[in-house]
Chains A and B, each alone.
Chain A
């Protein structure tokens, strides 16, 4: 039997990778992928807790399904924004998009 802690460690590693990706990558699409990694880490957490602490209830699993749904919608929206930025500025490098100020 695999212990709950192993899942939590996996989730933590995935989340940290995601954070690192968001902070270190410069390409918008890669940042988005890192965000997906963080979301998935959270999903693993949910499912693991659901299976180990209260298997008779589906709360955690339903949460995971919601996270997947929201993530899909978010990616759809974010990719559209990235596409518009690329059309406008011929780059998807976030360092070169610094118009978000006064």
Chain B
């Protein structure tokens, strides 16, 4: 078992998904154990692959990704492979996807108990794991696109898990359509590259791009279209509107798909296609700009939202924006480190808010308060996750935020650096706010408070494991920790763009980051401590700003307006044209005219055989004469 057998990692959950969809309801416990077993096996197999990879790296020399797989379709020169590749980038993603999937599925055993579509839920979970693992292993754009749509489909199915609720059905539709807008970009981008290079294989395309084989304007268009795909999936401005609504799905789904794995697929895609972005000037600036806008809008909205899951969702948007800023700095290391640590603490935050919801049936923080007394473990791990998100030393979130700041400080202009610093402050503010509102102070709703209780063991175990990782995952930046795990060194020497990056600390940058986080947390206590009166006062003092943020910058309304007034009107005209002109007039009209003329003509029939025979003969003779004249 080595890197050549990496295809087994997605294949096992895929097989489990197939069995569960077809025969799930005949299996004991509706087959949840099969789903967990499959992803567990994949997680174990990942270590074999990782071991093989570190062996290959230790051997030294130039390491190139190990390809495996087989031909699928060959039509002339068109060759389609189901090809997988293992390199450091894929290994990090594999670790994140397989581990978080396993944790979330174990958690779901407790969280989804008694759900009426319990078996279906686990079947789709398996399908998602298979698609996501294929996505990170794919070595050509077509297979990547296939998996890309696969995770989109699973996201749609899982957001709409409670589709009897109208808001859930609408949210699923919104998520699917919004990400599709980006997906089309990815598909066109991949086809453009195929037309230019003649293959979908990524490494060949990268070589062609580097050596300048592809026309520059053409490559720019392709890269920007691929970026569009990444923006859609990673919910970057202006596609970010779908992610907060996606919280309609079950909470473990939000943890898995809309925090740790699927939404970072865009970051992965940009990291994977980084050679393109580096060849074309200006595209990295676009990446940075998109990341900055997303970071700021989401951080500002996170300050005022009152739905616990939505606040966490805005913090996810915030993190995704920061990952894009890291990519904009050209640093795959920082972006992937962010993906890696973010997966743990964000999944933890979601799963912890899931256990709050599971116990109280309440998502509004205005109804909570003082829950720490009733559910101390949940409160502890949630606080841990929130502080990691805020970037408190020495939790996981601190290290990636520090690396990000350092890399923006060195690679971007000072404006971007200061902007990221401000976002650090805001993040600390609203994460503190969330913890204070949910877990401290007086209970605002006695009924909710009465119901609160700690979750069962199936839910507690993932929370504790993720809590431990939230404390320790950040230490992978150190060489010593990396070597202890059998890697060549710290994270920067494992995943990098061109050459290994050694972990450094710039005293000024680190000090300012720590200071700002502490100021943010203190500010959180100042504004939202006790009965949160100071925050209310601020909100009342600036009602326009408050309502602007509460209404999500009116972007949802603007999109709705465009859909109602433009898209639906145009669609109405097109569908009228199709129905009336094409179908009723063109297709049915011809048929009706034929039938009606037949109806009129049939009354001229005599029914006499000799008449018919005579006409036939005359006809043949006339035709013969014409043929004779024309022929000569």
Report which A residues bind B (CB closer than 8 A): 19, 22-23, 26, 94-95, 97-102
| A23-B613, A23-B617 known; A102+B605 contact, CB < 8 A | yes
Q: Tell me the smallest distance from the CB of A79 to a CB of chain B, in Å.
A: 16
Q: In the complex the two chains form, is A102's CB within 8 Å of B602's CB?
A: yes
Closest chain B CB from A19 CB (angstroms): 6
User: SS class of chain B's interface: helix, strand, loop or mixed?
Assistant: helix
Residues of A within 8 A of B617 (CB): 19, 22-23
Q: Give A100's nearest chain B residue, CB to CB.
A: B607
Minimum CB distance partner of A98 in chain B = B607
A95 to B606, CA, bound (A): 10
Q: Which residues of B contact A98 (CB under 8 A)?
A: 606-608
The answer to whether B610 touches A23 (Cβ under 8 A) is yes
Check B603 against A102 for contact (C-beta < 8 Å): yes
Instruction: State whether B614 touches A97 (Cβ < 8 A).
Output: no
Bound together, the chains give a CA A100 to CA B607 distance in angstroms of 4
B599-629 vs A, CB cutoff 8 Å, 1 = contact: the mask equals 0001101111110011001000000000000
Using Cβ atoms and an 8 Å threshold, which residues of chain B touch A95? 608, 610
Report whether B613 and A101 are in contact in the complex, using a CB–CB cutoff of 8 Å.
no
Residues from chain A with a CB closer than 8 A to the CB of B607 are 98-101
Cβ proximity bits B411-429 to A, threshold 8 Å, 1 near / 0 not: 0000000000000000000
- List, sorted by A's number, 15 A–B pairs whose CB atoms are closer than 8 Å: A19-B617, A22-B613, A22-B617, A94-B608, A94-B610, A95-B608, A97-B609, A98-B608, A100-B607, A100-B609, A101-B605, A101-B606, A101-B607, A102-B602, A102-B603
Q: Which residues of A contact B613 (CB under 8 A)?
A: 22-23
Q: Which chain A residues border B602 with CB–CB below 8 Å?
A: 101-102
Question: Closest approach, in angstroms, between the C-beta of B600 and any C-beta of chain A?
Answer: 11
The distance in angstroms between the C-alpha atoms of A23 and B602, with both chains bound, is 23
- In the assembled complex, how far is the CB of residue B501 from the closest CB belonging to chain A, in whole angstroms? 85
B610: A residues at CB distance < 8 A = 23, 26, 94-95
Q: Complex Cα distance A102/B602, Å?
A: 7
Give the docked Cα–Cα distance between A98 and B609 (Å).
7
When distances are taken between beta carbons in the complex, the residues of chain A under 8 Å from B608 are: 94-95, 98
> What is the bound-complex CA distance between A100 and B606, given in angstroms?
8
Complex Cα–Cα for A19 and B624 (A):
15
Within the assembled complex, what's the spacing in Å between the Cα atoms of A23 and B609?
Answer: 9
| Complex Cα–Cα for A56 and B355 (A) | 95
- Taking the closest CB of chain B, its distance from the CB of A91, in whole angstroms, is 13
Q: How far is the CB of B30 from chain A (nearest CB, A)?
A: 64
Least Cβ–Cβ distance between B605 and chain A, in angstroms = 4
Residue numbers in B under 8 Å from A26 (CB-CB)? 610
Q: Which chain B residue lies CB-closest to A20? A: B617
A-B contacts besides A94-B609, A98-B607, 4 pairs, CB < 8 Å = A94-B608, A95-B608, A99-B607, A102-B603
Interface centre among B602, B603, B605, B610 (most CB of A within 10 A): B610
Chain B: which residue is nearest A26 at the CB level? B610
Min CB–CB distance B595 → chain A (angstroms):
14
Measured in the bound complex, the distance between the Cα atoms of B607 and A26 in whole Å is 14
Closest partner residue, chain A, to B610 (CB atom): A94
CA distance A23 to B621 in the complex (A): 14
Cα distance A100–B603 when bound, in Å?
12
Complex CA gap A94/B607 in Å reads 10
Nearest A residue to B618 via CB reads: A23
**Minimal beta-carbon separation of A102 from chain B (angstroms):** 5
CB distance from B615 to the nearest CB of A (A): 10
- Write the chain B residue with the least CB distance to A101: B607
Give the docked Cα–Cα distance between A99 and B610 (Å).
13
For residue B599, which residue of chain A has the nearest CB?
A: A102
Shortest C-beta distance, A89 to chain B (Å), equals: 13
Please give the distance in Å from B478's CB to the nearest CB on chain A: 92
Cα(A19)–Cα(B610), bound, Å: 11
Task: Provide the residues of chain A in CB contact with B614, threshold 8 Å.
Answer: 23
Q: Which residues of A contact B605 (CB under 8 A)?
A: 100-102
Contact with A along B104-117 (1 / 0, CB 8 A): 00000000000000
9 closest A-B pairs by CB: A101-B607, A98-B607, A101-B605, A100-B607, A102-B602, A94-B609, A98-B608, A23-B614, A22-B613
A77 smallest CB distance to B (angstroms): 16
Q: How far is the CA of A100 from the CA of B617 in the complex (A)?
A: 19
| Docked complex Cα distance between A99 and B606 (Å) | 9
Distance (Å) between the CB of B300 and the closest chain A CB?
79
Contacts of A94 in B (CB 8 A): 608-610
Least CB distance from A28 to B in Å reads 9
Complex: A94 Cα to B302 Cα, angstroms: 94
Q: Give B603 Cβ to nearest chain A Cβ, in Å.
A: 7
Min C-beta distance of B8 to chain A, whole Å: 64
CB-nearest residue of chain A relative to B614? A23
Query: Taking CB as reference atom, which chain B residue is nearest A25?
Result: B610
Q: Could you say which residues of chain A place their CB within 8 Å of the CB of B606?
A: 98, 101
List of B residues within 8 angstroms of A23 by Cβ: 610, 613-614, 617
What's the minimum C-beta distance from B212 to chain A, rounded to whole angstroms?
Answer: 68
Residue numbers in B under 8 Å from A22 (CB-CB) = 613, 617
Indicate with 1 or 0, residue by residue over B139-181, a CB within 8 angstroms of chain A CB atoms: 0000000000000000000000000000000000000000000
Question: Most A CB atoms within 10 A — which of B606, B608, B617?
Answer: B608
Docked complex Cα distance between A94 and B608 (Å):
7
Q: How far is the CA of A26 from the CA of B603 in the complex (A)?
A: 24
Residue in chain A with minimal CB distance to B611: A98
CA distance A101 to B602 in the complex (A): 8
Shortest distance between the CB of A101 and any CB in chain B (Å): 3
CA distance A99 to B608 in the complex (A): 8
Separation of A19 and B613 alpha carbons in the complex (Å): 9
Alpha-carbon separation in the docked complex, A102 to B607 (Å): 8
Chain A residues with Cβ below 8 Å from B609 are 94, 97, 100
Please give, as numbers and ranges, the residues of chain A lying within 8 Å of B603 by CB-CB distance: 102
Complex Cα distance, B606 from A26, in Å, reads 16
Most buried by A among B606, B609, B613: B609
Within the complex, the shortest CB–CB distance from B602 to chain A, in Å, comes to 5
A22 to B617, CA, bound (A): 10
| CB neighbours of A102 from chain B (8 A) | 602-603, 605
> Residue on A with the closest CB to B605?
A101
Chain B proximity of A17: nearest CB distance (Å): 13
